[in-house]
Chains A and B, each alone.
Chain A
């Protein structure tokens, strides 16, 4: 008997059918499909989490996309740089591909986005403020207990308020969460992301 390869699976856990989804999960799948032309695998895989996933998304999207009620004032570029660097450093290939692609759209420069994903320290185009935020993302991901008061002072010295700093901490921290969910599920990267890059 020979084993046949049936193609890679989308998730290690069961993937619910579209008609099983809660109304807000179905809305997310529909609007994303309309905007992107397909439903990203993470949305299909995370749907098994039901209301918990809906509540995660309700927190995640305003944080990444910006919200009028946010006390912090990071730029969209800064938030997406943080999401990209955390995803790369956690070794989450799905999140890496997705956030580099989103960063490329935010920057309108996919070459720059890839270089930031590969090794941000080599990227001369980053501002001092972006570099300090990127360094914070690495430390808070790997060795969260090792951030000194001096590092916080340095962030304040480049013009970040305490609200801005905590917004950065939240972006870094929730991407540490979403990376772990994605890695636990083993979500398959979307073919569409690689089509033209």
Chain B
């Protein structure tokens, strides 16, 4: 009996993947520094490198929002927002990626994966993380329905207006990053399955 195996020749993106030597120095440097940090070069950054100088500027917006050592909100809050937004947008690369990083942020890899699949079923979520997750889902799926009451709910958690804005930035930058990745059909990294 023969098994129909998927083709293994697929490239990492639906569009052309530029060689590293073609890229502007700032983008090359970003790729080197991420490679050093992870021990491998993730496919997302090679695929979106097609945007050249624009991509370098996008990374300068995105990366500080996800930096554990920066930010007004605790890192785990920002990872909850990134993971839930990626899940609601249906981005498989981003879900697998943030399942891992959320798992690390929470110190529980199973929880990270469960949130990346469907946060609504995760009863262990703290009220704070649940509220943030619900806000991310609403702003992602029904941005026009965000109301004064939603903002009040965030204030009741103890978030000040600057922190609420940071949450909005995280959700919104993923509205963009998820669309890049979905459009390009970036192949998930082997490291996600290790």
Which residue numbers of A lie inside 8 Å of B, CB to CB? 12-14, 48-53, 55-56, 58-59, 62-63, 67, 69-72, 90-92, 140, 144-145, 147, 149, 152, 162-163, 165-167, 169-170, 172-174, 176-181, 183-186
Contacts and interface: CB of A to CB of B under 8 A. Distances in A.
Interface stretch (B28-36, B56-64, B101-109): B56-64
Nearest to B59: A59
A166 B173 contact: no
Q: Interface residues of B: mostly helix, strand, loop or mixed?
A: helix
A152 B161 contact: no
Nearest to A139: B183
B169 A91 contact: no
B45 interface: no
A175 to B, nearest CB: 9
Contacts of B168: 49, 180-181, 184-185
A48 B58 contact: no
B183 A140 contact: yes
B22 to A, nearest CB: 9
Contacts of B14: 149, 152
Given A50-B162, A152-B14, A184-B143, A173 B52 contact: no
23 contacts: A48-B165, A49-B168, A56-B169, A58-B61, A63-B54, A71-B50, A72-B51, A90-B143, A144-B90, A145-B90, A162-B50, A163-B50, A166-B48, A167-B51, A169-B180, A173-B175, A173-B176, A178-B172, A180-B172, A183-B143, A183-B146, A184-B171, A185-B168
A195 B161 CA distance: 32
Contacts of A62: 53-54, 57
B128 interface: no
User: Range of interface residues on chain B?
Assistant: 35 or more
A70 B52 contact: yes
A69 B132 CA distance: 38
In the A-B complex, list the 4 residue pairs whose CB atoms are closest, starting with the nearest. Answer: A69-B53, A173-B176, A177-B172, A173-B179
Q: Which secondary structure dominates where chain A touches chain B? A: helix
Contacts of A184: 139, 143, 146, 151, 168, 171-172
B165 A55 contact: no
Contacts of A165: 15
A92 B143 contact: yes
Contacts of B57: 55, 58-59, 62
A132 B139 CA distance: 27
Contact of B60 (A58, A70, A152): A58
